[in-house]
Amino acid sequence: MACRNARLLVVDDEPRICRSCVRILSKVGYRVDFAVDGVAALKELENDDYDCLIVDLKMGRLGGMEVLRRVKARRPAIKVIVITGYSSVPSAVEVMKLGAYDYLPKPFTPEELRAVVGQALAEKMLETENRRLQKEMGSGPVLTHQLIGGSPQMKKVVKMVAKVAPTESTVVVCGESGTGKELVARAVHANSLRAGKVFFAVDCGALSKNLLESELFGHRKGAFTGAYKDKEGIFQRADGGTVFLDEIGNIDLDVQGKLLRFLETREFLPLGAARPVKVDVRLIFASNRNLKELVERGLFREDFYYRIFVYPIELPPLRERKEDILPIAYHFLSLFSRKLGREIKGFTDDAIRQMNAFQWPGNVRQLRNVIERATILCEGEQIRARDLSLSDESRDLEHLIDYVPETNAALKQVKKQIRQKAVAKVEKSFLLNALSKADWNVTRAAARVGLQRSNFQAMMKKHGITRPRSR
């Protein structure tokens, strides 16, 4: 996060230390002032709006402990870093209890000072953004095609979408699972001349070759065993609109060939038909795999690869655009608060720190699931760190994986625990996902996933899942 224009105040009764800190921090671009005692520092804080205070613990006129106490009482948003040449465990514990951001023993290097100040300012910016988003919470409708995030990477994606949407060019969206590739496809469609027409999303990885071919192109009666009547394919039903083909790296080579011909002619032959059908459909592709690598391995047609790579859009993983985590979290909080009838205003500072520190291996999809679960678990007006359950979800497993057993018996026990925790995590996500899609109707959710209602309820009880009460 950019915080180069931050205002800093250094407080130390040794002018030499003050000047040194000013020089070190000014090089980064911060605006830095200094005071040579606690009384002067408090006067400065009354007249100017500072973001961070670096204060010495032991001073002749009003020590750092008292300055910290008064600053936190009057201006709690200011980040305070305590520096001292008389460091001890009790004093460190005391200043942290009073609300100091960090405790830096002298002598410290320029790198150490810049690092701790940078971390403190980044956290302050995150807290400021949290308060801003809390004020905006619920101020407008939640749009399903909305691309959220102010990071440079997402701004680039939004610009690319804006440029290609009004055209008829083929688009391919690349990125890890859960990054929001379908969201980009919907944004392209929503901002195109086809916006009022149908949008079809097809998960190519979930369908076999024959089923995918039948779904896309349709078939005639008697084309294969079980084809009792004519069936229009997606391309025919989407005439005038957009079809999004996700996970194209899983498409069979023969089907790739037929898609290539369709891209060239906008004609296709339904299975068992004698005459081709011509339609006006825009295709958007997506993949979480390296398609160039698949071409080299003979798993993806080279001619098809070059035909679809007209306008690639690369979606970065969430861990590489940390500044987008909080706005996306608020988007989902607004969505699920309305859906579940809850009145949750935002996140505590501890919760946003935990979200920002988490690596999000499942990207935006994982964040969505975490926020939905936290909305269900939350008992107050703000979601807390414990509602997110990120530590339960990741650290327990990570600790077990990092543990090195000494004996074969210990190895077996650890493997058993890892399996149990991993299965429990997946089961709980499975249940919450099914319930969410069925609007918390247990009968429909059970039927949707192919379970008996009694078995589904037993799994809910096992994981402590109950229907959220509207507030």
Band (143; pLDDT cuts 50, 70, 90)? very low
Are 439 and 331 part of one and the same domain?
Answer: yes
Say if 148 falls within a structural domain: no
Say if 228 falls within a structural domain: yes
Are 18 and 126 part of one and the same domain?
Answer: yes
pLDDT at 275: 86
Say if 16 falls within a structural domain: yes
Inter-CA distances, 174 with 290, 349, 469, Å = 8, 33, 39
Mean pLDDT, range 73-87, rounded to an integer? 87
Contact 327, 150 (CB under 8 A): yes
Are 439 and 307 part of one and the same domain?
Answer: no
Say if 2 falls within a structural domain: no
Q: How many CA atoms lie within 13 A of 419 on its CB side?
A: 6
Mean pLDDT, range 47-63, rounded to an integer? 89
Residues 307-321 have pLDDT tens digits of 999 999 999 999 899
Are 369 and 285 part of one and the same domain?
Answer: no
| CATH code, domain carrying 22 | 3.40.50.2300
Are 268 and 182 part of one and the same domain?
Answer: yes
Of 8-17, 222-231, 410-419, 452-461, the least confident? 410-419
| CATH code, domain carrying 395 | 1.10.8.60
Band (150; pLDDT cuts 50, 70, 90)? confident
Are 388 and 458 part of one and the same domain?
Answer: yes
- Identify the domain boundary among 314, 333, 357: 314
The total domain count for the chain is 3
Structure tokens at 300: 């993806």
Are 271 and 395 part of one and the same domain?
Answer: no
Q: What interhelical angle do 325-340 and 349-357 show, nearest 10?
A: 120
Band (79; pLDDT cuts 50, 70, 90)? very high
Say if 272 falls within a structural domain: yes
Are 246 and 330 part of one and the same domain?
Answer: no
Say if 258 falls within a structural domain: yes
Residues 372-392 have pLDDT tens digits of 999 998 988 899 988 998 855
Across 276-377, the runs of DSSP E, i.e. the strands, are: 277-278, 282-287, 311-314, 346-347
Which of 146, 154, 144, 147 minimizes the C-alpha distance to 316?
Answer: 154
pLDDT at 305: 95
Inter-CA distances, 249 with 210, 285, 287, 368, Å = 16, 10, 6, 25
Are 294 and 340 part of one and the same domain?
Answer: no
CA end-to-end span of the chain: 36
Say if 144 falls within a structural domain: no
d(CA 268, CA 105): 73
Are 108 and 189 part of one and the same domain?
Answer: no
pLDDT reading at 235 higher than 70? yes
**In terms of pLDDT, which residue wins out, 43 or 421?**
43
Q: Domain residues for 446? A: 324-462
What Rg do the C-alpha atoms of the chain give, in angstroms? 28
Using CA of residue 87, residue 91, residue 95, residue 96, what is the dihedral sign? Answer: positive
pLDDT at 17: 94
Residues 347-372 have pLDDT tens digits of 998 898 888 888 888 889 889 999 99
Contact 305, 295 (CB under 8 A): yes
Give 346's DSSP letter.
Answer: E
Say if 391 falls within a structural domain: yes
Are 338 and 426 part of one and the same domain?
Answer: yes
